[in-house]
Chain A
C-alpha cells in the first residue's frame, strides 16, 4: 500500500510539473512559480501525513472516525477547515468586492447555524452516532429505509458541494499555475483519492487542520496589511471604498439580491439550518472521544469561523480599494472589464497588491490547499454513506465484516473521484456560490429535519422520516431547477420565465420536510411505529448521559 502511495504521489507531481512547464512555454497565463513551490510543499507534507495515517488506519473506526482520538481543539480546527471552503474564502471576499455589505449577510448566515448545532445537536449526536449521521437517524427506526434516505441526502448534498469545489479548483489552478482546466481538475481528483483511500479520516482530518491553520494565518496577514495601508483606521478604509466603488454608498446597503424579503428569509434559513445537515461536518462529531470534546469542538469551530468571516469582510473592502480601480488586475488593463481570472479572484489579486508576488503565491497555494482538503472531507463522507449505510446496512443487512466495508469505502472513493472529475468538467461554467447554496438547501430540507426529529421527538416513525426526508429533498431540488438560477441561467429560458421566483427554496422545502415527517408519523398506527415510539426512552437516556455510547478506541 505504501508503494502505491509513493508511486501515486510521484505520478501526481510529474503530471503537475510537466503540465506547468508545458503551460509556461505556451501562451496563456504565466505560471506562478511561488504558488507552485508552496503548493508542492503542502502536497509533500500532506502525502507524508497520509503515509503516517495509513500505518495507523487498521479498523473501520480508524478509517471513518480517526479512532475517536481527535481532541476538541483539533476537531474544532478541522470543522472550521471543512467550513472555510474556497467558496467561503474566495466567494465571500468576491461578494464583498462586488456588492459590499451583501457579502457580510452571507457570512452571518453561515455562522449562526453553529450555536444551534451546539445547543440542540452536538452532544446527542456524539452520544448516539458511530460513523455517519444515518447511525443517529436510524438508531430506533428501521435501518434499511432510513439509511437509504440518509445516504441519498448525503450523496446529493456531497455531489452539489463537490461540483462547486471542483469548478473553483479548476478555475483557480488554471489562472495561477497556468495549468489547463482539465489537468487541474484531474490533479485535484487524484490527490483527494490518495488522501482518502489510504489515510481515511486520520489523514483527512490532519490535512484539514494544517490547511485551516494556513488559511487563518494567510487571511490574518492580508487583513493586517490592508488595515496597515490605512494606518489601522477601519473608518478610512470604508470611506475610501465608498469613494472608489462604482456603486459608491450603495455598497453599504444589503444589495439588490435581497430586494425580495422572501428570498432574504429563505436564504437565511438555508444557510442557518443547512449547516446542521451537512454530512461531512456531522461526521466530524464522531472523531472525538465523548460529548464533552464534541462540545468544545463546536466552540472552537465557531470562534475560528467567526474570526475568519470578519477577516473576509476586511479583505473584500481592501480589494474594493486596492484591486477595483487598478487596471493591472483587469482584463486588457481596462477597469470596466472583468478581473483577470474571473469574478472569484479579488482575494488573490489583493494578495499581490498588499504583499507582492510571494504573498500572492502563498495565498493562491493556500486557496488550492483549501479546495483539496474540503474535497477530501466531502468524498470521505460520500464514501461512508455508500459503504457504511448503503452497502453494509441496506444491501448486506449488516452481514459484512469490517474489512469488506472499508474496502467498499475505498472503492467508492475512487469512483467518487472519477465522478467528481467528470462533473467538474461538465459544470465548468456554473456559478460556484449558487451550487453551494443549493447544497445547503438540500441539507436543510432533507437531512436536518430527519436528524433533529429523530433525536428530539418521540413521535417520529420510520414512515414519517422516510417520506418527510424524501419530500424535503425532492422539493428543494425541484424548486431549484425551476428557479431563475437554473431555469434561466443554465437552461437558457427567457428571463422571468422561471416558475419559482426566489433564490433559495428553503423557506418552502424545509417546513414541508418537517410537516411531512410529522404528518406521516402521527398517522402511522402500525405495530412497528408503536415499537419505535417506545424505544425513544432508551435512546433519550443514552443521548443525554452518553451511557452506552461508542467509546474511543483504546490507544
Chain B
C-alpha cells in the first residue's frame, strides 16, 4: 500500500465510521467482560463465604455465577460476531472497493 492509498482510505467516511464503531464496541464489550470477571474474582477473594450460600437446594450462588459467566462469555462473543458479520463486513467491503483494492 502506498502513501496515497493510505491517505485515501483514511479520509473515506466509511473507514472512519468502521474504526470508530468497531473500536468503541470492542472496548465496551472488553470492559463488560473485565467487570464481570474481576467482580467475580473480587467476590472470591474478599467475600468467599458468599460463594457457598445455597439458593436452590444445594445449588449455591457460586455455581449459578460460574455457569452464568461461562454462558455470558459465549453470548458476548456471539453478539460481536453477529454485529461484525453484518455491519462491519459491509462497511469493510465498501472501503476495499472504494480503495480500488477489490478482487480479494
Given contact pairs A108-B40, A108-B70, A295-B84, A253 touches B77 in the complex (Cβ within 8 A): no
Q: Which residue on A lies nearest to B25, using beta carbons?
A: A119
| A112 pairs with B10, CB closer than 8 A | no
Structural contact, B40 and A104, CB atoms closer than 8 A:
no
Docked Cα-Cα span, A303 to B71, in Å, equals: 9
CB neighbors of B among A225-284 (8 A): 234-235, 238-239, 242, 249, 252-254, 258, 261, 264-265, 268, 272
Residue from the list B27, B58, B70 in contact with A310, Cβ < 8 A: B70
Please give the distance in Å from A216's CB to the nearest CB on chain B.
15
What 0/1 pattern do residues 1 to 45 of B give for CB contact below 8 A with A? 100011001100001001100100011011001101110111011
- Cα of A94 to Cα of B45 in the assembled complex, Å: 22
A-B contact count (CB 8 A): 158
Flag if B6 contacts A101 (CB, 8 Å).
Answer: no
Q: Is A497 an interface residue (CB 8 A)?
A: no
Contact B57 A261 (CB under 8 A): no
With A120-B26, A295-B81 in contact, is A545–B9 under 8 Å at CB?
yes
**Residue interface mask B58-99, A partner, CB < 8 A = 1:** 111011001101110110111011001100010010011001
Q: Is the CB of B81 within 8 A of A253?
A: no
Contact (Cβ within 8 A) B30 A120: yes
Distance A295 CA – B42 CA, assembled complex (angstroms): 30
Is A91 interfacial (CB-CB < 8 Å)?
no
- The chain B residue sitting closest to A540, CB to CB, is B19
Considering only CB atoms, which chain B residue lies closest to A249 in the complex?
A: B52
Closest chain-A Cβ to B48's Cβ sits at a distance in Å of 5
Residues of B within 8 A of A (CB): 1, 5-6, 9-10, 15, 18-19, 22, 26-27, 29-30, 33-34, 36-38, 40-42, 44-46, 48-49, 51-52, 54, 56-60, 62-63, 66-67, 69-71, 73-74, 76-78, 80-81, 84-85, 89, 92, 95-96, 99, 101, 104
**Inter-subunit contact A258/B45 (CB<8 Å):** yes
A56 at the interface (CB under 8 A from B): no
Among A70-108, those with CB < 8 Å from B are 101, 104-105, 107-108
How many Å from the CB of A72 to the closest CB on chain B? 9
Bits for A103-121, please: 1 = Cβ < 8 Å to B, else 0: 0110111011011101110
Which of A104, A108, A253, A542 meets B52, CB within 8 Å? A253
- Give the size of the chain A interface in residues (CB under 8 angstroms): 52
Least CB distance from A76 to B in Å reads: 11
Question: Could you say which of B5, B62, B96, B99 contacts A104, with CB atoms under 8 Å apart?
Answer: B62
> Is residue A492 contacting chain B, with contact meaning CB distance below 8 A?
no
> Which residues of chain B have C-beta atoms less than 8 A from A249's C-beta?
52
Name the contact of A548 in the complex, choosing from B1, B18, B81, B95 (C-beta under 8 A): B1
Q: Which residues of A contact B (CB under 8 A)?
A: 101, 104-105, 107-109, 111-112, 114-116, 118-120, 123, 234-235, 238-239, 242, 249, 252-254, 258, 261, 264-265, 268, 272, 290, 292, 295-296, 298-299, 302-303, 306, 309-310, 313, 537-538, 541-542, 544-548, 551
Chain A CB count within 10 A is highest, among B33, B41, B54, B63, for B41
B29 touching A547 by the CB < 8 A rule? no
- In the bound complex, what is the Cα–Cα distance between A238 and B66 (angstroms)? 15
In the complex, the answer to whether A299 meets B81 with C-beta atoms within 8 Å is: yes
Q: Are A541 and B48 in contact (CB under 8 A)?
A: no
Q: Cα distance A238–B60 when bound, in Å?
A: 10
Quick one: which of B18, B60, B73 contacts A115, CB cutoff 8 A? B73
The contact sample of 27 A-B pairs, CB cut-off 8 A, is: A107-B70, A109-B37, A111-B73, A112-B33, A114-B73, A118-B77, A119-B29, A235-B56, A235-B58, A235-B59, A238-B57, A242-B58, A253-B48, A265-B38, A265-B45, A268-B38, A306-B70, A306-B74, A310-B67, A313-B66, A537-B10, A541-B6, A544-B15, A545-B99, A547-B96, A547-B99, A548-B101
A264 touches B44 (CB 8 A): yes
A112 touches B37 (CB 8 A): yes
Known contacts A268-B38, A541-B6: does B78 contact A254 (CB below 8 Å)?
no
Compute how far the CA of A303 lies from the CA of B78 in the bound complex, rounded to whole angstroms: 9
A486 vs chain B, min Cβ distance (A): 23
A541 touches B40 (CB 8 A): no
List of B residues within 8 angstroms of A548 by Cβ: 1, 101
Inter-chain contacts of B49 with A (CB < 8 A): 253
Q: Would B73 and A112 count as touching, CB distance under 8 A?
A: yes
- Give the docked Cα–Cα distance between A400 and B10 (Å): 36
